[in-house]
Chains A and B, each alone.
With several copies, the nearest count.
Chain A
């Protein structure tokens, strides 16, 4: 337990040598006050210095005025998960000032603008009030921009205190403003002057410092929604139909931004895609189903409330065997819940989405690279299997800033599935039937509107149909078709991404996790290892399961299934899929809107192990 405590809380007297490259900075501001640029600048500057960094925004569901906290974690070992500890707190928001002050770790550093005149009652931390208004005025910022640019002042002060390289800061600004000289200069001036002011104050050394490293070489900074959108662009997405909803909006918006850059026919200037903002999610998925049926790579992106509204069409897509891709960037439910907080709470719902018997395919990206990869692969799967494919991301993965290896170009040709065009039909010797299982894998052949062969047309429907897509109510027809769908689902097992398994010799414990909790699990496992509890790890990447999952469970004594929801949804699904091994599975859940921490995982597992 000692390991954990010291890593989580670094009790420092300010006299000792500073801690280098291993701490968290929290900036407390008001939503809509323009601090996002400042925070991104800090992250990018750190990144530019070669120091592993991650940023998480804990923001409210409003546009302006409510408290927002932005956490930047600096860690030379590359850990990027959320931590509870707050070594440096910058308090810009009068409304949360008291709470922000109280939360600084002992031995930490507290920075605030001196126009916030609150009583400071702590003597176990370094305190620094800076003259924000003066600095902005002195930098000759036009009065309309002052409030906004004031956020740059804390960047400067922080830079001086922890040793942030001002050139790196400049590069960050340059990137942010797309090289536009005026805003770069204006903001940089405030930062520089603030740093100078701090340097002039004869302060005791700060307890935390950064030093350049070379650990970000070969990485980029991005977010999961951008990665997903780019993946879809390279997956050849043709129809994007979406309705705004936090935290999925930026996925649709990124598509709207990138497609015109990357997918216009260079010769004619015409579009190979369309992005439609629908009137709601019922329509968004309806359009996607129409597009998928008409042979397009069609997708929609949404979050929980939208998924709920999509239920009926999801069932139609499943039963009519129409390929579509649905991104669910999960937020906290039930109901409207906490629109700006993260969760993994839609697993069961999406797995069973649709009335009557449905079983769906879920992809579970665990990193930005996987967001990109599943962005294109989802189409290959949907078209191969002629099914809806759901990709379950979440707010943390989708909207926060993560280091990642560059996105990798698809290493396979597109798989468009079993499609018959005019010449294919011409060559057929047998009569084609839309729902015939010719190959025994449950996957039929389809034709696509626009096919001019006189035998190509068929009439799609969500009602009972026979192998030739004709309406039928005959019990045997129904049964036969449903059994084929079950067969197709078995085929899917061999095609969806396999779990990533790290099997550790001698580990009795296996951890199962997925999605955005990966970084916390990685960090937790290192700590558990250090404290003498080695663990194996299976990071799930899709549902349904195939054979590897069973083997993993079999080869460990106890399996901890870690997830961010209340009811242990993945644990439930594993129980259903492996009823004979259910007794081995232990559910560990935590779900309060904040990303998981390594600490919670370590303590939960040690707690259970100690039972």
Chain B
């Protein structure tokens, strides 16, 4: 096996010449069994399988157990563990530094749906080219088990009685704000998580990936909607999903007419959707709203690629930036000439 540049690949190296190790982070300090840890692992796996160079990725997070996790993957990527609920703005600004980098953000349900609702909505509206993962456990892990805004009505928690409010549905919110990529998954479904991460990292625009990620310490009773038990019992994928990077050939082995649906990304990559119960078209907004609405009524945890749209400009595209990353420009490009100032001065009265 040889790497792209023709040199000999290390054993276990991918097309970028990197091994799994090059994608790891510091050891996790989260609880053993925490859903967030399995998601970190899938991020590592997805990046490795996508042959991404870690230096081309930016990591962002807010505050929470979930938001700690970017320290536990992609050590060779720059990252910022920002403020509670305010990650999207920092990520937005940072994305302008070098438009060729790919931001990947990890947030929690508290971080996004409670304190962070405003910035969540607005980063979607701007269609920042970023994968935005919400590790959704219906609870505040890091502050020890209070209700978050995605906790289901009636949920009982040890020290906080019963939740009297209706839950916020992160995918519905993402759709309402016109997100160009909306997906839900379950941390217990490693393969789907991984494929959706790959798709989301490849998507050009804001990809919302809401992953039900159980908090084993504070919200893992079998009847709690964000628990492993509940997920195992109730997860209902709307399709079986495989991401195929654009360089690879699509090979569907036992291909049956009408059994698959393909969604093509901006770069030619494809998400291959194997139909399950019914044929679901993720490019149909109304269908997306409907499937979420119905799932809420039926109390099932639907997972999969709920909505996808291509063609809308991402934020940095709108801004028509120089090809050279802005942060590599020097005084020469950044300070207009002395003459121009003289002109400006004469243009004043």
Contacts and interface: CB of A to CB of B under 8 A. Distances in A.
B81 A290 contact: no
A413 B331 CA distance: 8
| Interface magnitude class on chain B | 35 or more
Contact of A220 (B26, B59, B338, B349): B349
A268 B323 contact: yes
Contact of B80 (A249, A335, A459): A459
Interface residues of A, number: 96
Interface in A240-299: 241, 243-246, 249, 253, 256-258, 262-263, 265, 268-274, 276-298
A574 B75 CA distance: 46
Contacts of A61: 142
Interface string A409-423: 110011000000000
Contact of B117 (A64, A279, A293, A448): A279
B115 A246 contact: no
Given A64-B31, A220-B345, A221-B348, A239 B93 contact: yes
A514 interface: no
Contacts of A265: 322, 333
Given A221-B348, A282-B89, A64 B341 contact: no
Contact of B29 (A66, A233, A279): A66
Interface string B55-68: 10011000101001
Interface stretch (B97-105, B178-186, B296-304): B97-105
A32 B217 contact: yes
B118 A459 contact: no
A450 B325 contact: yes
B221 to A, nearest CB: 16
Nearest to A379: B334
A435 interface: no
A269 B160 CA distance: 20
B307 to A, nearest CB: 23
Contacts, number: 270
A460 interface: yes
B119 A283 contact: yes
Interface string B315-349: 01001111101111101011110101110110011
Contact of A458 (B29, B78, B141, B334): B78
Contact of A280 (B85, B91, B159): B85
Contact of A279 (B32, B93, B97, B149): B149
Contacts of B59: 459
B312 interface: no
Nearest to B117: A279
B194 interface: no
Given A234-B336, A277-B147, A459-B80, A451 B55 contact: yes
Given A220-B345, A459-B79, A249 B92 contact: no
A6 B146 CA distance: 46
Nearest to B55: A452
Contact of B336 (A233, A288, A320, A462): A233
B35 interface: no
B345 A407 contact: yes
A449 interface: yes
B10 interface: no
Given A294-B98, A316-B83, A336-B83, A287 B32 contact: no
A239 B96 contact: yes
Contacts of B149: 279
21 contacts: A61-B142, A63-B144, A172-B349, A175-B349, A234-B336, A238-B329, A249-B143, A249-B144, A258-B344, A280-B114, A283-B86, A286-B82, A290-B89, A290-B92, A297-B334, A312-B83, A406-B345, A410-B335, A448-B97, A451-B78, A460-B81
Pairs A-B, 6 closest by C-beta atoms: A294-B97, A286-B89, A290-B93, A236-B334, A295-B327, A287-B93
Given A249-B144, A294-B327, 13 more contacts: A63-B65, A65-B32, A230-B344, A278-B122, A279-B149, A286-B88, A286-B92, A286-B119, A312-B83, A316-B83, A413-B331, A460-B80, A460-B82
